[in-house]
Chains A and B, each alone.
Chain A
Amino acid sequence: MNYELKIMLSTKTIEDIKKAIANYPRKKSASMDALTIAQKECGHLTQDVLLEIASLLEMPPVQLNQVAAFYTMYNKKPVGKHHVQVCTNVSCSLLGSEHIVEFLSKKLGVKKGETTSDKKFTLSEVECLGSCGTAPMMQINDDYYENLTEVKIEEILKGLK
């Protein structure tokens, strides 16, 4: 297949990916690191970004696509600036995570899986985040917010605007 290779990633991101490659005996083993690093810069992984990473790792683009498609944390579609991810697994569910999702949905004016029109927030429901002792909880981008209540959520959202 012919495709045009575009430069999508910054020099810093490319440097970071090259550093990650050094951690493995095989270049393509750095694919997950590379996707994570690139996503930090790009927000979500477009075909152009994937092609550039595949070329850096000297692997067939189709193989990298398979990896990107398999793992839920790689965003294949654009997400808001703040990705609000609420755990609704058993421990959180027992302590009212459904209510947390409903409350957030009302506050943000979007349904699960949707992004606000100003592209600031995406609301997602996710599986267990390993924070069951402090349920209910959510993750916004890289940070955990635990022992959630309505009051606490309002404060958190205010801090993000």
Chain B
Amino acid sequence: MFEPVLLKNINTPDSHRIDVYLKNGGYQALPNALKMQTDTLIQLVKDSGLRGRGGAGFSTGLKWSFITKDPTIPKYLCCNADEGEPGTFKDRAIIEKDPHELIEGMIIACYAIGAQAAYIYIRGEFDFGARRLEQAIYEAEQKGYLGKNILNSNFNCDIYVHKGAGAYICGEETALIESIEGKRGQPRIKPPFPAQVGLFGKPTVINNVETLSCIPHIVNKGPKWFASIGPEKSPGPKIFGVSGHVKKPGLYELPMGTPLREVIFTHAGGIRDGKKFKAAIPGGVSAPMLTEKDLDTPMDFDSMAAKGTMLGSAGVIVMDDTTCIVKVAMRTMGFFRHESCGKCTPCREGTDWTYKVLHRIEHGEGKEGDVKLLENLCGNIFGRTFCPLGDGAVMALRGALKNFRDEFLYHVKNKKCMV
């Protein structure tokens, strides 16, 4: 039985309060981190093998190392708490139940990269979470963990909460930066990357909530401990959020690399109502779906990529054998169409057109050649957009078409669903 690390305190009463966090060993990593050279600290995070939990899986230590050491240039840390990828609900648990774990991780990250200010970009709907964070920041300031000359280290750091207002695209790092600057959340072209030109034009690191929450544990227990959990190239504890047709939907913190079958059947209790498994989306709706034959795939960045999908946010959406894949594809494309920021044509027009085709197939008005048309549209969106939103839409649809092409063709031919 794996002992939870990140979620270990979420069932403790008042776990969001600083005295409870302190009683459970909180803010012990911070004084030790502040005594280290920043290079040593960054190396420690590199050695742990921690990879970004937002979905891209980029090495956190490496990301930090891109930031200039020039002390005259202001730098920023942004915590991505936008959590908008459908099927994902992990960061909310940390924000609401253990906000100090995140804040301690953020202060250490700020120290490592030389940032004196950090913003938590939280989606606007998480009003309760935003208030929890503001309260936690206030508590940390009162105890001297935030503000001027933290623990007599000469290091100053402030954290601010920035509330979004209902735009999925702001989970994309450059759109997130634009949004914190108080503008429309439309992505910037890269390069320059945020590590060079980020928030307010300054070098910036953007890390996910779960990523930053790993930091105090890595400092406390050492990089070797972290690296020893799960696969060598993709280590650490990982929060899996399981939703859909399972008996016990919810969050399960398990070693990275736990097979998909074990996540669904051992932890989430298997398929509900005596039905059979049909498919699972492994990492939020952008991740191509997997079927029965892929159930033994380990859930880590590399193994999922080898199967043509992605670990993403590890929000696992499970579908039973009564699920119409065409309908799921239509609903998913409807989401991307709604959330496309409108900046670039392939995404704005492509998601709209694709949705319309899926809509007519689902509603018994599909035309011969529609499946080919969908594939064609995918090819004209993928790789041709400013940011990964368009790619995500295509990956999701291609996953459905690859595994359930017959179901789409049946819909077109028979004007109805086969399930």
Contacts and interface: CB of A to CB of B under 8 A. Distances in A.
A90 B181 CA distance: 31
B244 A91 contact: yes
B86 interface: yes
Interface string A29-47: 1111101100000000000
Interface stretch (B331-339, B351-359, B376-384, B406-414): B331-339
Nearest to B82: A130
19 contacts: A28-B182, A29-B182, A63-B183, A70-B167, A71-B185, A72-B167, A73-B164, A73-B166, A89-B331, A90-B317, A91-B87, A93-B328, A127-B166, A127-B335, A132-B243, A132-B249, A132-B315, A133-B241, A144-B128
A90 B285 contact: yes
Nearest to B249: A133
Interface in B67-110: 83-89, 91-92
Contact of B181 (A26, A35, A71): A26
A23 B120 CA distance: 12
A90 B331 contact: yes
A8 interface: no
Nearest to B127: A142
A132 B125 contact: no
Contact of A72 (B127, B165, B200, B244): B165
A94 B165 contact: no
Contacts of B125: 73, 129-130, 139
A11 interface: no
| Size category of the binding interface on chain B | 35 or more
- Best-surrounded residue of B86, B88, B123, B185 (most CB of chain A within 10 A): B86
Contacts of A116: none
A130 B182 contact: no
Given A73-B125, A133-B251, A127 B165 contact: no
A2 interface: no
Interface in B157-181: 160, 162-168, 179-181
Contacts of A94: 243-245, 317, 319, 323, 328
A36 B249 contact: no
B182 A26 contact: yes
B182 A67 contact: yes
Contact of B123 (A57, A130, A142): A130
Interface of A: 23-26, 28-33, 35-36, 57, 63, 66-67, 70-74, 88-91, 93-95, 126-135, 139, 142-144
Nearest to A29: B182
A133 B89 contact: yes
A101 B239 CA distance: 31
Contacts of B335: 89-90, 127-128
B241 A90 contact: no
B87 A127 contact: no
A55 to B, nearest CB: 15
B233 interface: no
A24 B244 CA distance: 40
Contacts of A89: 86, 285, 331, 335
A132 B91 CA distance: 12
Interface string B263-278: 0000000000000000
Nearest to B83: A130
B166 to A, nearest CB: 4
- Best-surrounded residue of A57, A93, A126 (most CB of chain B within 10 A): A93
Contacts of B86: 89-91, 127-128, 132
A126 to B, nearest CB: 8
A24 B182 contact: yes
Contacts of A31: 182-183
Contacts of B319: 94
Contacts of A36: 124, 163, 165
Contacts of A24: 160, 182
Contacts of A91: 86-87, 243-244, 317
Contacts of A28: 182
A71 B335 CA distance: 15
Contacts of B87: 90-91, 128, 132
Contact of A133 (B167, B168, B180, B243): B243
B339 A135 contact: no
B126 interface: yes
A91 B323 CA distance: 12
B115 interface: no
A144 B88 CA distance: 16
B222 interface: no
A100 B229 CA distance: 42
Q: Which 6 A-B pairs have the closest CB atoms?
A: A71-B165, A132-B243, A128-B86, A72-B166, A73-B166, A31-B182
Contacts of B285: 89-90
B281 interface: yes
Contacts of B167: 70-72
A9 B285 CA distance: 41
